[in-house]
Structure 1
Amino acid sequence: MLVIACQAGGNARAADKEPPLRPGAPSKTIFVASNGWHSAIFVPRNELTPDSLPEITAFPEARYLGFGWGDAEFFPARDPGFTTLLSAAFLPTPAVLHVTGLRVHPEAAYPKDEVIALKISHAGFRNLIAYLDGTFARADRRPGKPVAPGLDPHSYFYRAKGEFHLFNTCNSWTARGLAAAGVPIDADDIVRAEGLMASLRPLSANSFK
């Protein structure tokens, strides 16, 4: 059931891929966290503006914002039924985006998870934020309204673009965002969390478990 909860994928707007960071070039640091089945991308909130990502206004005290996909019914459910599980696994289903505001470093927030730090170029960071922004299903540039409380303190679920199915997972979505940011991974080959993190470990600025 845990694997199904992270299923995501979609038609989120993907920016053009940015070339990998050149040695010595100015960079920004982002983080990818995984608990072994689900993955999420964390970025410093102070690097964002409401123009680039309107939903940041819901997290005024956060130091980092985390983004992860899940099935619109299964992911937010505290006790999902078997029918919901089957639907999430085998049928294309609507998406939600889970957004978490952290007041501490991701490593401190998730001490049992693997957290990998990645350095990307300034242009790559802009591409990543465009990718994240493009996942929100909103009609205009006003902040989207949460559809459910999140799974963590200071977190919410938002309606998202795209559909889920068994072969297009949250880890695939994470990989596509990182590839757009210039991280040299083959997003087409990523389905499981272990495959994603194995691809990122050799590229890590720092790796925490």
Structure 2
Amino acid sequence: MFRTLRNHWKKSLFAFCALTYGTKWSYDRYQANQIRQFYCQQASLLGSQNFPPMTRLTRIAVLLNGKANNGKAKSIYDKTIFPLLHLIGLDVRVYRLDAITDSNGLNELLTNKIEPNELSALMIIGGDGTLSELAPYFLQSNTLQNLPICIVPIGEYVSFARSLFPLTNKKKIHDDIVLLCESVFALFNGKIVQKPLLKITMSNNNEKPM
């Protein structure tokens, strides 16, 4: 056996590396599924509780950018986020932002289609680009401004989300399954973080803004 390994050391090294990677991948996947199972149990317990009718979140709109994280955002949502929302018992309406081709369509979605006056909360799934695209509409709508907004950071660039979730040690936030699950439960922990929206306009004259 030693002679075989010595004569084919390149193949042996490749097989060892492949086995090591496969073992780590399987373990990481097992750990992720264990975390999902735990939070699904917590969501089921939360959904079985009796809430006063005026305090329970009943209907939320999920604004999903399916192109985020190289098109993997929808898969992550289906595997990790949706089961929790379903077990909690929320009325979830999902709207795909990547299916909208112009600003008129986005304006129609946010002002009419999602029926903002009927919502208890908004959930935004995407990165910084998604938030930047939606921010102007929040500035223009008092209804959207006053809704609790749950951020689920799935994207390549999520600097805003990192200001909300500074404790994760994951290079990519969406790889932190615990954080994604906790972002859903943040709707129920009673803590709302106030984050101001900054509107910048260009001056028509040469005066420098103070």
Q: Which has the higher strand share?
A: 1
TM-score (norm 2): 0.22
Structure showing greater relative contact order (alpha-carbon pairs closer than 8 Å, 6 or more residues apart): 1
Structure ID, larger Rg: 2
